[in-house]
Amino acid sequence: MEQINAVVQEVNENVNTHVQEKELHFDSPFEEQVYHQLRSLGYEVTTQVGMSGYRIDMAIVHPQDSSRYILGIECNGAMYHSSANAKERDVYRQRFLESRGWTIERIWSRNWWKNSSAEVERIDQKVKELLKKEIVKEKVSN
């Protein structure tokens, strides 16, 4: 329970999705490749979104509202698979962020190395799907 509270407290301190200007930071060449592929599609991407040890690897800035993010992305590599604590922490963090309106997608390194273009296409399609849902929601509320 203590670990859950620590995660919630850390993330809660920076829960808003307002885009922040930060320098780029990558934990691995895998993350850097994901970043550059998403940028090549025209997306603005911020790395290491969050607080202290509880960060999302990257987030895509909303294409129509640059003050917020549309999608958070976690890049999970070989180290992730060998760490039960990392998995547990990620589950709590993801659930908390999703309860606050975030959408999180994961890219697994093994899938990236097999077919990076399919992974980039999957993320691109997810962003397009989220944009369509927003348009439908706006029409319904008007």
Say what the pLDDT of residue 138 is: 77
Task: Kindly report, residue by residue over 48-65, the tens digit of the pLDDT.
Answer: 887 555 678 899 999 999
Task: Find tokens 């407290």 and name the residue.
Answer: 9
Between 26 and 9, the higher pLDDT residue: 26
Domains of the chain in start order, with CATH, are: 2-141 (3.40.960.10)
pLDDT class of 126 with cuts at 50, 70, 90: very high
Of the given ranges (10-19, 117-126, 133-142), which has the lowest mean pLDDT? 10-19
Instruction: Tell me if 44 sits within 8 A of 61, measured CB to CB.
Output: yes
Instruction: Tell me if 69 sits within 8 A of 61, measured CB to CB.
Output: yes
Query: How far is residue 21's CA from residue 76's CA, in Å, rounded to a whole number?
Result: 24
